Amino acid sequence: MNGPLSPNSWQYRGLNAVNPGLDHLSNGLIDLVKAGHNVMAGSADLQYSNGLNRFAAAYPDRYISFGISEQNMVSTAAGIATCGVTPFVATFASFLALLVCEQIRMDVAYSAQPVRLVGHHTGISLGFYGTSHHATEDIAIMRSIADLAVISPADGPQLEAAIRASADYDKPIYFRIGRGRDPVVYKETPTFTFGKAHEHLKGEELTIIACGMAVHGALEAASAMNADGRSVGVIDMACIKPLDRDAILEAASRSKKIMTVEEHNVLGGLGGAVAEVLADEGIGVKLKRHGIYDEYSLIAPPTHLYAHYKLDAAGIRSVAEAFIA
């Protein structure tokens, strides 16, 4: 090499340095080990993408590289779990939830093994990498698998809290996480309770129920609308399964309308889950399910896609204002 490279150049292995949100995955796992929990981690050739290289560096004996064999990775993790070790295995959500769906059902959920599945770079956060790398179906698929919890944290600190809380959760879990560059919602490390939503704002005209990266935009949108004299609430439904039905019913009793926002197909995801609760209870509140409208995403950098699909703060606000107009 002839001299130092420009600071604008980067190598793949350095990419994680700009994905601080993913540090929380390794941090959470390191905390579990330090607390005496018998956990291991594995990935399918993506340790620099999901940040598990940090865990691997801290505990090389507790990390397994599975090569590019996602199905084998999950089935092997299930075998590991039968022996009293808790495995965290991670790969892109598109591969984990779709390619490995049957192994997750058979070997993890049906077999009741407390495997922690970490689907990262979910939704359309892989932008111009294209539809093969997008996961806008994973919530729908994973939440239909019996006994599998589905967690979609809003940011890194909430992910870390959920990982810590998972130590006391004996069922399998699917963590749906972003690309590690999501804006931080929880400035201080939040608590996380399975089956409990986190209510940020109460609103009478509208309650926005969001998950994942959409929470930050929903909060900004609601705050701006409230500053303009509207009354908009926001609930972070990071725990999509088990679902906090009471939080939904309470919001429906307080607000005239409900809007869900998710980086996911509007079919079968968080919006579907909320719709089921409202329909089950015979509540006639008007519901808007916002997300990806049953289509494949365009190619673009992620932030451009979020603007295009109205999943950023301005977009969520425009959809919300049209909905309650």
Partner 1 sequence: MSGSSGGTARGNSFEPTPDVVAMLKERARFVRLETIRLIEIAKTGHYTSVFSAAEIFAALYYDVMRLRRGDPKWAGRDRFTIGKGHAAVGLFPIYADLGFFPKEWLDQYTRLGSPLGDHPDMRKVPGVDFSSGSIGHALSNALGMVLAQRWTAEKDYRVFCMMGDGEMQEGQVWEAAINAAQHRARNLIAIIDRNGYQLDGRVDDLMNIEPLDEKWRAFGWEVHTVDGHDVAKVTELLRQVRADDERTRPCVIIAKTSKGRGVSYMETEPGWHLGYLDPSDAEKAIAEINALDA
Residues marked active site are found at 70
Rank residues 136 and 166 by Cβ distance to partner 1 and give the closer one.
Answer: 166
The residue type found at 270 is L
Q: 205: buried, middle or exposed (CB in 10 Å: 19+, 13-18, 0-12)?
A: middle
Asked if residue 66 binds partner 1 (CB under 8 A), the reply is: yes
Q: Which of 67, 195, 242, 301 binds partner 1 (CB under 8 A)?
A: 67
The separation between the first and the last C-alpha atoms of the chain, rounded to the nearest angstrom, is 61
Binding status of residue 43 toward partner 1 by CB under 8 A: no
Q: Does 78 bind partner 1 (CB under 8 A)?
A: yes
Contact (Cβ atoms closer than 8 angstroms) between residue 251 and residue 237: no
The answer to whether 85 contacts partner 1 (rule: CB under 8 A) is: yes
Token code pair at residue 70: 């996602």
Q: For residue 191, state whether it binds partner 1 (rule: CB under 8 A).
A: no
Q: Does 219 bind partner 1 (CB under 8 A)?
A: no
Least distance to partner 1 from the beta carbon of 57, Å?
A: 18
| Segment near partner 1 (CB under 8 A); pick from 84-92, 200-208, 235-243, 244-252 | 84-92
| Buried b or exposed e, range 271-298, using 16+ CB within 10 angstroms | bbbbbebbeeeeeebebbbbbbeeeebe
125-to-47, 52, 181, 320, 325 alpha-carbon distances in Å: 17, 19, 9, 22, 30
* Residue 162, C-beta contacts closer than 8 angstroms, at least 6 positions apart: 28, 151, 153, 175, 192, 238
Choose, by CB under 8 A, the member of 71, 122, 231, 255 that binds partner 1. 71
Sign of CA dihedral 260, 266, 269, 275: positive
The answer to whether 83 contacts partner 1 (rule: CB under 8 A) is yes
Question: What is the smallest separation between the CB atom of 72 and partner 1, expressed in angstroms?
Answer: 4
Residues of this chain, 5-34, that bind partner 1 according to CB under 8 A: none
Select 61 or 168, whichever has its Cβ closest to partner 1. Answer: 61
In the region spanning residues 111 to 150, those forming contacts with partner 1, defined by CB under 8 A, are: 111-112
Rounded alpha-carbon distances, angstroms, from residue 301 to 120, 126, 142, 153, 199: 17, 8, 27, 22, 31
Instruction: Give the count of residues interacting with partner 1 (CB under 8 A).
Output: 30
> Judged by CB under 8 A, which of 49, 103, 255, 260 binds partner 1?
103
81 binds partner 1 per the rule CB under 8 A: yes
Q: Which residues bind partner 1 (CB under 8 A)?
A: 38, 40, 61-62, 64, 66-67, 69, 71-72, 74-85, 87, 102-103, 106-107, 110-112
